[in-house]
Amino acid sequence: MINTKNRPDRHNEDIPVGKTVAFCRCWQSDKFPYCDGAHRRLNSEGDSVGPVVVKAVAAES
């Protein structure tokens, strides 16, 4: 099941340093682009997908 809700193909997000964010990869989240756990249903149907988890860190200078 891919992008059946016509989600944008790309998304830009500024994440504050130190914050961790889980982004949806199954395209079914009601909080898209953030993960809300919708992938659990897909996983029980035989798919194997989960969020991409990103933690923002300060850039090295």
Residue 33 lies in a domain: yes
Q: Which domain holds residue 28?
A: 20-55
CATH number at residue 38: 3.40.5.90
49 touches 12 (CB < 8 A): no
pLDDT digit string, tens, across residues 7-58: 777 778 889 999 999 999 888 899 999 999 999 887 788 778 889 999 999 9
Q: Is 54 helix (H, G, I), strand (E, B) or coil?
A: strand
Q: Considering its fold, how many domains does the chain have in total?
A: 1
Q: Say yes or no to pLDDT of 2 above 90.
A: no
3-state secondary structure 5-52: CCCCCCCCCCCCCCCEEEECCCCCCCCCCECCCCHHHHHHCCCCCCCE
